[in-house]
Amino acid sequence: MDSTLSLYNTLTRKKEVFVPLNPPMVGLYVCGPTVYGDPHLGHARPAITFDILFRYLKALGYKVRYVRNITDVGHLENDADEGEDKISKKARLESLEPMEVAQYYTDRYHAAMRQLNVLPPSIEPRASGHIIEQIAMVSKILSNGYAYESNGSIYFDVEKYDKKYHYGQLSGRVLEDMIANTRELDGQGDKRHPYDFALWKKASPEHIMRWPSPWSDGFPGWHMECSAMSVKYLGDSFDIHGGGMDLMFPHHECEIAQNTACSGHGAARYWIHNNMITINGQKMGKSLGNFITLEELYTGKHKLLAQAYSPMTIRFFVLQAHYRSTLDFSNEALQAAEKGLDRLMKAVSTLSKLKASGVSTVDVSDLEQRCYAAMDDDLNSPMVISALFDWVRIINQLYEGQAQISEPDLDRLRKVVNLFVFDILGLRDDSVNDNSELLGSLINMILDMRMQAKKDKDWATSDMIRDRLTAMGVRVKDRKDGYDWELE
Ligand code: ZN
């Protein structure tokens, strides 16, 4: 755990060496999905980014409590506290209970995450299950004087807060500029100022999702849930808060303001934001017709898709870019990712067949050092992949007998490759399942018997085995000291 992991902290705008508050514990909170629609390409990137952070922290020996929420109430159609609740709207359109909608899309999200080999978080709290905690926090902010009541709704008093603390510290905004850029007529409703935001909203008579509170029957503002649930499970000071860059303002900025108005300081020490995915250079959006769900990617059923792409191809594609860079989706880029992943997985399989011989002519510590250094440098997954590809070449050279590796070095190489490919990058070899492993062992056994027949100069048996296997679609290639085979 004497790691030198450094992470780019959005709050301080620089890379900082990560030092947890209470090692070996690490508290990690990530904003999860609003469950009112099918999981799409935009969900894949934050999920995979924070999955490799979670995996890497564990690989470094930390005990990580990873909290990722489910937003099932309070996320209105626009961020200015206006419009219908996203889940209620879907429920109304489909004649379902709002919680039926939330459950259905939560299940869909979980299934998509499993396909992407994203590990489940340690705790996955729902906003609707934490109304009491949110009401308690709103009361605290009110009694501390940073909120006001207006017709049964409670709003955060941004101007008053900004006099003591800086509103905008995360996103780099300045309140005066925000005021200058806001037209007073913009749908103000009950708010004193357009940039104030709702902590509690009084429900209109037709609003279905509602709870009693000291102020009105209503529902919490969207930003409240993350403040209340992160503090409940990780304490009022915890290590890392993550999410997509699109959440930085207003969502995360409001979270910091709420926590600070409660306890005098923000809750998270490191804020980490992943960049967005664009599609052929454009932002993804339903109105642009380039909105692609994960299921459409897996089946290839979307007009922009030239073919289907496996979940592991998507994962590999996401990992090929640094999480803070934009990532442009295109068929060409995904096809290249598919080829790259295939090459990597073939090398991993070749590695399992390698035999040690004498003294090493290769330096395994090079791979190990480069992989750790890349991950330590703000989770630089593309650099890890580039180091692994240099070793794909070396593994193939070892296999062709153009280089040598000793027994201990071969053990170490297998450990490092498995650790980074499977445990940390979280890739999975989808061509392998239990049956194909058994099939492989059986083919190897038959080919070992053929080797024995050849040694015994029993050419009839040797040829018969080869011909029968060829007829079954197993192509056998003789090598100097053994054999290769592949399925046609
Ligand atoms: Zn959140």
CA of 368 to the centre of ligand 1 (A): 36
SS3 355: coil
CA of 226 to the centre of ligand 1 (A): 5
CA of 15 to the centre of ligand 1 (A): 23
CA of 251 to the centre of ligand 1 (A): 6
CA of 71 to the centre of ligand 1 (A): 8
CA of 190 to the centre of ligand 1 (A): 24
CA of 436 to the centre of ligand 1 (A): 42
CA of 30 to the centre of ligand 1 (A): 7
CA of 287 to the centre of ligand 1 (A): 25
CA of 388 to the centre of ligand 1 (A): 35
CA of 244 to the centre of ligand 1 (A): 10
CA of 247 to the centre of ligand 1 (A): 7
Cite the DSSP H helix spans in 235-363: 253-263, 294-299, 311-319, 331-353
Yes or no: say if 148 and 192 are a contact pair by the CB < 8 Å rule.
Answer: yes
- Residue keyed to tokens 């904003």: 31
Yes or no: say if 359 and 406 are a contact pair by the CB < 8 Å rule.
Answer: yes
CA of 209 to the centre of ligand 1 (A): 19
Yes or no: say if 260 and 223 are a contact pair by the CB < 8 Å rule.
Answer: no
CA of 221 to the centre of ligand 1 (A): 11
Determine the pLDDT at residue 241: 98
CA of 31 to the centre of ligand 1 (A): 4
CA of 426 to the centre of ligand 1 (A): 24
Determine the pLDDT at residue 440: 80
CA of 225 to the centre of ligand 1 (A): 7
- Residue keyed to tokens 């070749």: 350
> Which of these, 141, 122, 127, 108, lies nearest to 39 by C-alpha position?
108
CA of 253 to the centre of ligand 1 (A): 10
C-alpha 397 chain-centroid distance: 34
Sheet-wide strand order for 218-220? 147-150, 153-156, 198-202, 218-220
CA of 107 to the centre of ligand 1 (A): 19
- Residue keyed to tokens 């080829």: 339
CA of 70 to the centre of ligand 1 (A): 9
Q: Which amino acid appears at position 115 of this protein?
A: Q
CA of 29 to the centre of ligand 1 (A): 9
CA of 386 to the centre of ligand 1 (A): 33
CA of 216 to the centre of ligand 1 (A): 24
Q: Phi, psi (5° rounding) for residue 242?
A: -125, 170
Name 231's Cβ contacts closer than 8 Å, sequence gap at least 6: 137, 259, 267
Determine the pLDDT at residue 143: 98
Cβ neighbours, 10 Å, residue 339: 11
CA of 248 to the centre of ligand 1 (A): 9
Determine the pLDDT at residue 110: 96
Cβ neighbours, 10 Å, residue 193: 16
CA of 252 to the centre of ligand 1 (A): 7
Provide the 8-state DSSP code for 203.
Answer: P
Determine the pLDDT at residue 441: 80
CA of 254 to the centre of ligand 1 (A): 10
Helix (H) or strand (E) holding 135: helix 131-143
Determine the pLDDT at residue 362: 96
State how far the Cα of 402 lies from the Cα of 72, in Å rounded to an integer: 58
Yes or no: say if 212 and 205 are a contact pair by the CB < 8 Å rule.
Answer: no
Yes or no: say if 396 and 347 are a contact pair by the CB < 8 Å rule.
Answer: yes
10-residue block means of pLDDT along the chain (488 residues)? 85 97 97 92 95 98 97 77 81 87 94 96 97 98 98 96 94 85 62 92 89 96 96 98 95 97 97 94 81 92 94 97 96 96 96 93 96 98 98 96 96 97 95 69 89 93 91 86 82
Provide the 8-state DSSP code for 123.
Answer: B
CA of 135 to the centre of ligand 1 (A): 17
Q: Phi, psi (5° rounding) for residue 339?
A: -65, -45
CA of 223 to the centre of ligand 1 (A): 6
Q: Enumerate the β-bridge partners of residue 487.
A: 474
Q: Which amino acid appears at position 87 of this protein?
A: I
CA of 95 to the centre of ligand 1 (A): 28
- Residue keyed to tokens 């905690």: 133
SS3 268: strand
State how far the Cα of 270 lies from the Cα of 169, in Å rounded to an integer: 13
CA of 32 to the centre of ligand 1 (A): 7
> Which of these, 229, 223, 269, lies nearest to 247 by C-alpha position?
223
The verdict on pTM exceeding 0.75 is: yes
CA of 197 to the centre of ligand 1 (A): 15
Helix (H) or strand (E) holding 418: helix 407-418
CA of 326 to the centre of ligand 1 (A): 21
CA of 399 to the centre of ligand 1 (A): 49
CA of 200 to the centre of ligand 1 (A): 16
